Amino acid sequence: MSDWTVLCDFDGTISVEDVIDSLLVRFGEPGWEVLERDWRAGRIGSRECLQGQIKLLQMRRDELDAHLGELWIDPAFPAFHAVLHQRGIPLRVVSDGLDYAIHNILARFGMDELDVVANALQPTDDPKHWRLESPFSAAGCASGTCKCAIAAKERAQGRKTLLIGDGVSDFCVADRADFVFAKNRLIEHCRAAGIPYVPITSFAEALEWLPKLLRGELEHNTHYLETTYVD
């Protein structure tokens, strides 16, 4: 059995688009954009931002489910998950997004059994309004889900972590992972911080890099990766 564990972001990494952003555009009441700007400017943390934004969503559960039914995942993700399963490599979906949405979307693709660590979307007495709980937050961390704490638990058990992510919620944990498959904004962060990584655009590329990582050909070799990767 491999000593690797894969910690994988969901929104924009497994999913084609950011689920919460899509919900806010469709169902959000005025004011969510201000919270988004405050978060991007570093004036508030993601947990405070999300709590405020979720309160501004106005949708019934059937409307939520119908919307989630229109969202898609990377078409190569099921194959990537299957390869990990064959090799005995645990996969944990670690997200600062919404557990209900993640389970709902993954279930459509036959993968609802995946271990999901995320914020909890909870109903209120008003059938069109919701609230956010963050069972995986941590003291001193402004995120709803402290991905660094999850990575630390894996390391404490003697396991190496491969992070797969795409954005700001992955910046901090990238420095604590043993290796990173990076998309979008996470690529520039890893490059600037000297974090061992390879850039990917899809899980098809992740499938190509995975055997090399497991053979020990990629770890700590950032110069090789920078000079040999070609778009």
Whole-number pLDDT of residue 57? 98
Does domain 4-228 fall under CATH 3.40.50.1000? My reply is yes
Whole-number pLDDT of residue 223? 43
In tens, the pLDDT along 214-226 reads 999 987 655 445 5
Measured CA angle at 216 (ends 210, 221), to 5 deg: 95
Helix (H, G, I), strand (E, B) or coil at 195: coil
Please check whether residue 151 is in contact with residue 7, taking contact to mean a CB–CB distance below 8 angstroms.
yes
Exposed e or buried b per residue across 100-125, where buried means at least 16 C-beta atoms within 10 angstroms of its C-beta: bbbbbbbeeeebeebebbbbebeeee
Q: Give bridge partners of residue 131 from the DSSP assignment.
A: 122
Whole-number pLDDT of residue 2? 84
Half-sphere exposure of 22 (CA within 13 A, CB side): 20
Query: How is the chain split into domains, by residue range?
Result: 4-228
Whole-number pLDDT of residue 72? 98
Please check whether residue 115 is in contact with residue 85, taking contact to mean a CB–CB distance below 8 angstroms.
no
Whole-number pLDDT of residue 227? 42
Whole-number pLDDT of residue 225? 53
Whole-number pLDDT of residue 228? 47
Low-confidence residues of the chain, pLDDT below 50? Answer: 223-224, 227-231
